[in-house]
Amino acid sequence: MSGVKFTFHQLFVVGAARVGKSALSVQFVAGRFGDEYAPDAEDLCRKYCLVDDEPAILDILDTAGDQEEFVTVMTPYGGLADGFLLVYSITSRESFEEITTFYQHILRFKDKGSFSAILVANKCDLEFEREVGIHEGRDLANHLGCGFIETSAKRSTNVDQAFKTIVREIRKRDEVPLFPNFGTNSKLMSLFWTADCTIHTSQHETCRSGFR
Ligand SMILES: Nc1nc2c(ncn2[C@@H]2O[C@H](COP(=O)(O)OP(=O)(O)O)[C@@H](O)[C@H]2O)c(=O)[nH]1
Ligand SMILES: [Mg+2]
C-alpha cells in the first residue's frame, strides 16, 4: 500500500482553570501565544508532527478546566484517550493540589495500564510568583508514575517536548495502530466530531483547517 504511515493518538489536556491548557495547546499547534483564551471553551484540534523521525497525528482535546465538566467529557470519550497532559501552574498551589483529583477521575474511566500521562508544570517564566517547587512536582509525578516537565506556553519553553514526550510514552507503552492516512481510517476522529460537546472554533482556527 502506498502513502505515509502515521501513528495516531488522542491526547487530553487536563487541569484546573487558568493554568494555561489552552495556551499550551495553541502554542504547540499554532506556534503563538495570546494573553486571553475563552475561559470555558473546550477545543479540539489536530497536529501533524514528527516524533523521533516518525510521523504522528495528534488529536488534542483542550478541556474546559472544571472537574465536573471534565467528568462529563470523560464519560463518553475518555475511553478513546491514549494520553493525558496533567497541567498545573507553578504560581498556583491550588491547581497543583487539584491534579490528584483529576487523576482519580481518569482512573474512574481508564485502567492504569491503558493510558500514559505527563505532569506539566506551566508558567515557569513566572519564577518570582512560584508557589510550587520543582521537587514537589517531581515527587507527585513519581507518585503518579508519570513523567514531569516544566513549561512556559508564553516563552514556548518545553512545549513541544511535553507533547512529544507523551507520544513517546504511548509508543513505548503499546503497539499503536498505523494508519496509511487519516482520511478514511479515523473512526475515533469521526466519533469526536459527531460528539455532542461544545467545540469552539475561535482559538484553533489555524489548525482546524487541517481537518477538512
Ligand atoms: N506568564 C504566563 N502566562 C500564561 C502562560 N500560559 C498561560 N498563561 C496565561 O494564563 C491565563 C490562562 O491561560 P489559559 O490558557 O486560558 O488557561 P486554561 O483555562 O487552563 O485554558 C491567560 O491569561 C494566559 O495568557 C505561561 O506559560 N506564562
Ligand atoms: Mg482553556
Contacts (Cβ under 8 Å, ≥6 apart) of 166: 9, 11, 83, 84, 85, 116, 117, 118, 147
* CA angle, residues 141, 60, 25, in degrees to nearest 5: 75
pLDDT in tens, 48-101: 999 999 999 999 999 987 788 888 888 888 888 999 999 999 999 999 999 999
Domain boundaries, the chain: 8-180
Q: Selecting from 3.40.50.300, 3.10.150.10, 3.40.630.30, 3.10.580.10, what CATH number does the domain 8-180 have?
A: 3.40.50.300
- Which pLDDT belongs to residue 3? 61
Closest approach atom of ligand 1 to CA 87:
20
Q: Which residues of the chain have pLDDT under 50?
A: 1, 180-212
CA of 24 to the centre of ligand 1 (A): 8
Residue entry with cell 493510558:
115
Q: Closest Cα to atom 26, ligand 1: which residue?
A: 123
**Collapsing DSSP states into helix, strand and coil, what is residue 118?**
strand
| Any atom of ligand 1 within 6 Å of the Cβ of 154 | yes
Closest approach atom of ligand 1 to CA 151:
27
- Which pLDDT belongs to residue 204? 39
- Which pLDDT belongs to residue 41? 76
- Which pLDDT belongs to residue 1? 47
| Any atom of ligand 1 within 6 Å of the Cβ of 91 | no
- Which pLDDT belongs to residue 90? 98
The percentage of residues in the chain with a pLDDT greater than 70, rounded to a whole number, is 79
- Which pLDDT belongs to residue 206? 35
Cα distance between residue 57 and residue 182, in whole Å? 8
- Which pLDDT belongs to residue 199? 32
CA of 18 to the centre of ligand 2 (A): 7
Cα distance between residue 60 and residue 73, in whole Å? 13
- Which pLDDT belongs to residue 207? 39
- Which pLDDT belongs to residue 4? 66
